Structure 1
Amino acid sequence: MISLKASSNWLVSVALIATLLINLLVQLLHAGPRIRAEAGSNLRLTREFVLKSIANIPETDNPVPPLQSLFANLGDLRHVEIKILGAKDPTPGHWSQLNHDRYHDLPEWFVKVAGAAPRVILIPLVRGTHDYGRVAIVSNPLDELEEIWSDMTWLASISVVATLMILIVVIFLIRFALSPFNALQAGLAELEAGRSGVKIPVRGASEFRNISNALNSLAATLDRVKNENKRLVSELIEVQDNERKEIGRDLHDEAGPCLFSIRAAVTALQDSVSQGVLDRDRVAHLSSIIDRSSTTLQLLFRGLLDRLRPKGLTELGLEPALRSLFATWELSHPEVALRLALPHDLSSLDKNTAFTAYRIVQEGVTNIFRHANADWGQVKLNFALGDVGAKETDADQDSEPRLEICIEDNGAGISDKPKMGMGLLGMRERVYALGGMFEVTKRSAGGTLVRALIPLVEDDEEE
């Protein structure tokens, strides 16, 4: 594939050569009319001169000697030749029959292309009944053609030299003008190699400057995303470790004593059986210990499973799972008046969207309990159009439908530039993973508003 530099050089070369050829062609086309016009004028003047010369010779004299002397004194005329032909001499049909040796450098093809054919005018020399011959006036276009050919040769030589000089200058200027391409190519290679801190020098024409600024902005964005991904991975590992520690602590603090109680009760029963003495009250007491410990373990494992995977979300759907979650919160946090608004049927949501919505609601309401210091909170899930930050009345009717999740409270609110903790970061990353949008703002009436928009997935897209 031809490079841009080579294409530009070829384009300029073709343009210069075409200009040179057009100039030569114009001169060539104008040569014929120019020669014919001048030859006609010379023929008319020469004819008048010859006629007046013949008229000035006395009738009794032979006109041939004085005319030959006159024409010899005139010498070589430009563009016209005068010859006295005898009565028996043939009429010349072409100038070459008279004289053409001095025009041997003139190309024959140029003469043919110019199309300046010679013209012959014959003036008879008659005195009474005596015929002295004829005076032949022949137009000679080769003088003018020779001048035109010389001009064209000179112009072509000068034009070739000028074209070569201009081409050299243009090649240098094109090379200099396209030199930022090398820096752009090197910068793109570094970006492709995954290097950080790529900085492309901003120079050259405005287009190159705009491209360089855009690539520098892209490199900065990639570095920022790369650093953020590293930080998120580190925080994710930390969250996983903390969650494992918390699960291990729950198992150690709650499951350990229950298992110890069950084992102690079983050992006591085995001792009673081995001794052959079965106390009815003691067996009932040990059975009660085993039952309570089993119930505690069951509740503990159920809670852990709910943390790992929402109970009933896959089997029942998002709405029953959320209502069950809110019922649990109403018992465990009666100090906060929670309200769940579900104006639409959510059973058509795909499993990824439903799971993400459940986790966002779970984390958002948990933040209300932990940080908001609020006594009222509301969660609303509905279908909407438009982007985050747009009012409902401004939503474009042709935009794609989305699931809108709004979590708000009347608590202490957030700062103007909130620092996202792991909870909000996790919510944002879950939304971004599905191609949605996420924002955290202050409520006009006080408190915090968490708003997320998740694109709805069609059935064929999900498949």
Structure 2
Amino acid sequence: MISLKAGLSWLIGLVLLAMLLINLTIQLMHAGPRVRAEAGSNLRLAREFVLTTIASIPSNANPAPALRQLYANLGRLRHVDITILERGEAPPAQWSQPERLLADNPPAWFVRLVDVPPPRVVIVPIRAHERDYGSVAIVSNPLDELEEIWSDMTWLASISLVVTLAIIVLVLLLVRYSLAPFEALQACLADLEARKSGIRIAPQGATEFRDISNALNSLAATLDRVRQENRDLVNELIEIQDSERKDIARDLHDEAGPCLFSIRAAAASLQEAVAQSPAEPERLRQISTIMDRAGEALQSLFRGLLGRLRPTGLSELGLEAALKNLFASWSLGHPEVDLRLSCPHDLSSLDETTALTAYRVVQESVTNVFRHANASWARVSAEFGCDMIGETGESETEDAPTLIIVVEDNGVGIAEEHRSGMGLLGMRERVQGLGGRMKVERGVAGGTRVIVSLPIRDEDEADRE
């Protein structure tokens, strides 16, 4: 691949060279007819002039001075050679040979290329007072016209060559100056590829380069923001993971530990009671009751831990049943908020990954309602349909079926210039990980509205993942 500067130089040079060749070819095509017409015209003019001069010689005068003046006048004509032959003298044979015209300027190859016609010899007898004074030989000589054509073409080629070189030099300088911002753009792209932060480039050069620089600066700012959000999200996830581990460790220590101690103590008491003879049924009944209560407490503890780690009944009963169980527990904990769930379609056909993402989206959205919205009611709908986010102008509407989740409330709503917290960032990461879209906006009548579109994947795609 050649560079842009070399390409432009070659292009301009070839165009100018082609124009030069076209001009030279046109002149060369017209050179032959031009030489023939000029030679014939001058030959006829010289003959007429000779005849007129001879006819004007007085009958009582000596023709010698008039003939000398005639020869002197005819010698000034172009494209013809004039000579006076003595009476009975024949013109030399070499006058009619084409080689007579060959010379160094123009070169012989150019004369042959133009196809110059052979010289023509016209003999005009000189008669006065009924006496024969010889004759005038007029020979056509197109070499003069051919020399002019050769000179014109040589000057045209020289001037065109100089102009071509000058234009190429100017183009190289202009291209070098115009493409100077490319180096800065290339360096900026290299820094972005190296994952450097705070990369900015000063707009310079032509308008196109300024637009590219502004777009590149916007891209760099977006990448910096995304990297920072990813770092904040990773740190938040690590903190949440550590907090969950601490909570699980505390629950296991505070609740599972005493239960296990009770079971071990009851087991030891059971061994002592069995070793006694006879055994006391009432004591055995008390020991079994203690062990049963400890086992039930452990089962309840493990059920709660599993529910926190994974939604209860999501894989067995489906998304709708899991959401209903979640809403039932929320209604007990937050009776001041009227929660309503709408699932007009059968959601049992969703794959596990999509169903879990939808569950987490609803869980986080409604949790934000409890924490920040100060709302009296919240509505959640989950149904199949087309992409609603595309209809609002964020992206093009797609005909592929999607799972549409809408969570809205009548709370205080979000600010015009709000910054997404870790919860919304986590939701967005989950949704985008499945190829979906998410939008958070103010409701028409106030409050907040969260719209999520998740693509419905076929079984083969879900199995591959």
TM-score if structure 2 supplies the norm length? 0.86
**Any idea what SS the aligned residue of 1:287 has?**
helix
CA distance in 2, matches of 1:417, 1:285: 64
CA distance in 2, matches of 1:459, 1:269: 54
Structure 1 counterpart of 2:184? 183
1:431 Cα shift? Answer: 1.3
Map 1:166-315 → 2, pairs under 5 A = 166-276=167-277, 278-315=279-316
The alpha-carbon distance between structure 1 residues 50 and 200, as it changes in their structure 2 partners (threshold 3 A), is: same
CA distance in 2, matches of 1:25, 1:419: 73
CA distance in 1, matches of 2:370, 2:138: 122
1:418 Cα shift? Answer: 4.1
Number of residues of Structure 1 aligned to a counterpart in Structure 2 = 460
CA distance in 1, matches of 2:17, 2:448: 74
Map 1:26-105 → 2, pairs under 5 A = 26-57=26-57, 69-74=68-73, 75=75, 77-85=77-85, 87=88, 89=90, 94=95, 100=101, 103-105=103-105
* Pairing 1:16–2:16 present: yes
**Any idea what SS the aligned residue of 1:105 has?**
coil
What are the Cα deviations for residues 391-449 of structure 1, in whole angstroms up to 9, with x where unaligned? Answer: 69x99875333211112334454444445443333222211222222233343445433
The alpha-carbon distance between structure 1 residues 278 and 421, as it changes in their structure 2 partners (threshold 3 A), is: farther
The alpha-carbon distance between structure 1 residues 379 and 104, as it changes in their structure 2 partners (threshold 3 A), is: closer
* Pairing 1:347–2:348 present: yes
What are the Cα deviations for residues 233-257 of structure 1, in whole angstroms up to 9, with x where unaligned? Answer: 1111011001111111222222222
Structure 1 counterpart of 2:424? 424
CA distance in 1, matches of 2:459, 2:32: 81
Consecutive unaligned residues of structure 2, counting only runs of 5 or more, are none
1:132 Cα shift? Answer: 6.9
CA distance in 2, matches of 1:449, 1:442: 6
Deviates more, 1:444-453 or 1:210-219: 444-453
1:133 Cα shift? Answer: 6.1
Structure 2 counterpart of 1:142? 143
CA distance in 1, matches of 2:213, 2:99: 75
The residue type equivalent to 1:322 in the other structure is: L
CA distance in 2, matches of 1:391, 1:216: 28
Structure 1 counterpart of 2:435? 435
The residue type equivalent to 2:43 in the other structure is: L
CA distance in 2, matches of 1:138, 1:96: 11
Deviates more, 1:448-457 or 1:67-76: 67-76
The residue type equivalent to 2:172 in the other structure is: I
The residue type equivalent to 1:73 in the other structure is: A
CA distance in 1, matches of 2:396, 2:189: 37
What are the Cα deviations for residues 23-76 of structure 1, in whole angstroms up to 9, with x where unaligned? Answer: 43343334334433333332232112211233245779997x667634543345
The residue type equivalent to 2:355 in the other structure is: A
CA contact (8 A) 2:181 2:209 kept: yes
1:149 Cα shift? Answer: 2.1
CA distance in 1, matches of 2:108, 2:247: 106
**Any idea what SS the aligned residue of 2:148 has?**
helix
CA distance in 1, matches of 2:108, 2:66: 34
**Any idea what SS the aligned residue of 1:242 has?**
helix
Deviates more, 1:372-381 or 1:339-348: 372-381
CA distance in 1, matches of 2:209, 2:186: 12
1:346 Cα shift? Answer: 1.5
**Any idea what SS the aligned residue of 1:358 has?**
helix
What are the Cα deviations for residues 183-230 of structure 1, in whole angstroms up to 9, with x where unaligned? Answer: 222111111122112222321112222222212211111111111111
* Pairing 1:384–2:379 present: no
TM-score if structure 1 supplies the norm length? 0.87
* Pairing 1:322–2:316 present: no
CA distance in 1, matches of 2:256, 2:281: 28
CA distance in 2, matches of 1:447, 1:253: 41
**Any idea what SS the aligned residue of 2:389 has?**
coil
CA distance in 2, matches of 1:371, 1:258: 38
The residue type equivalent to 2:246 in the other structure is: K
CA distance in 1, matches of 2:390, 2:27: 71
* Pairing 1:152–2:183 present: no
**Any idea what SS the aligned residue of 1:196 has?**
coil
CA distance in 2, matches of 1:325, 1:349: 18
1:269 Cα shift? Answer: 2.0
CA distance in 2, matches of 1:356, 1:49: 111
Structure 1 counterpart of 2:358? 357
The residue type equivalent to 1:168 in the other structure is: V
Deviates more, 1:29-38 or 1:263-272: 29-38
CA distance in 2, matches of 1:2, 1:336: 70
Consecutive unaligned residues of structure 1, counting only runs of 5 or more, are none
Q: Kindly, what percent of the aligned residue pairs are identical?
A: 58
The alpha-carbon distance between structure 1 residues 367 and 282, as it changes in their structure 2 partners (threshold 3 A), is: farther
The alpha-carbon distance between structure 1 residues 165 and 135, as it changes in their structure 2 partners (threshold 3 A), is: same
The alpha-carbon distance between structure 1 residues 443 and 278, as it changes in their structure 2 partners (threshold 3 A), is: farther
CA distance in 1, matches of 2:302, 2:95: 123
CA distance in 2, matches of 1:78, 1:422: 99
The residue type equivalent to 1:409 in the other structure is: D
The alpha-carbon distance between structure 1 residues 164 and 442, as it changes in their structure 2 partners (threshold 3 A), is: closer
**Any idea what SS the aligned residue of 2:344 has?**
coil
